[in-house]
Amino acid sequence: MKVVINVCHGGFSLSPKAVRYYAQLQGRECYFYETKLDGDFSLELLSEEQASKIYTDPIAFDVPDMDARYAEACSADQIAGNRVWKQHYLDDRPEDRSDPLLIQVVEELGDQAAGKYAQLKVVEIPDDVKWYIDEYDGWEHIAENHRTWA
């Protein structure tokens, strides 16, 4: 089994290029936004190049008009707005690190797959091992589950 981990201080994340490719492999579109907090919450649509250059991490969705959709949903019902957000959100820190599509992205893009403060590595472990990702200050390793008592 293959698993993606971060092997430097900082933390696991995908670059905008990797998020776009990961979305493409899932059959989804990908649009990047920067959050704006100028009295009200809003999103500004960015190109992939702009997204890779901003100081804060961009947010990715699979629709080109997420700002309008979220604002519309939020004004009607905050819970519905959060559902809209979750329905269209593309995660730059996917939870399933053994996802074959994620593995493909990291293997094919190499160093270009890593987010700003990440260095990603695909590690191969035996299929029958029960494992988890352990980390210190963003630096990760795969550990085998063990029994403990207190």
Each domain of the chain, given as residue ranges in start order, spans 2-144
pTM for this model (two decimals) = 0.88
Residue at 93: amino acid letter: R
- Please tell me the least confidently modeled range out of 14-18, 42-46, 99-103, 117-121: 42-46
> What pLDDT was estimated at residue 84?
80
More confident residue, 85 or 108: 108
Q: Could you report how far apart the first and last alpha carbons of the chain are, in Å? A: 31
Q: Identify the top-confidence range among 31-40, 51-60, 137-146.
A: 137-146
Strand partners, 5: 121
Q: What is the DSSP string of 44-72?
A: EEE-HHHHHHSSSPPEEESSTTHHHHHHH
Cβ neighbourhood burial of 40 (10 Å; 0-12, 13-18, 19+): exposed
More confident residue, 87 or 107: 107
User: Using an 8 Å Cβ cutoff, are 16 and 51 in contact?
Assistant: yes
- 3-state SS record for 87-100: HHEECCCCCCCCCH
Dihedral pair phi/psi, residue 111, rounded to 5°: -60, -25
Whether 117 has a pLDDT exceeding 60, the answer reads yes
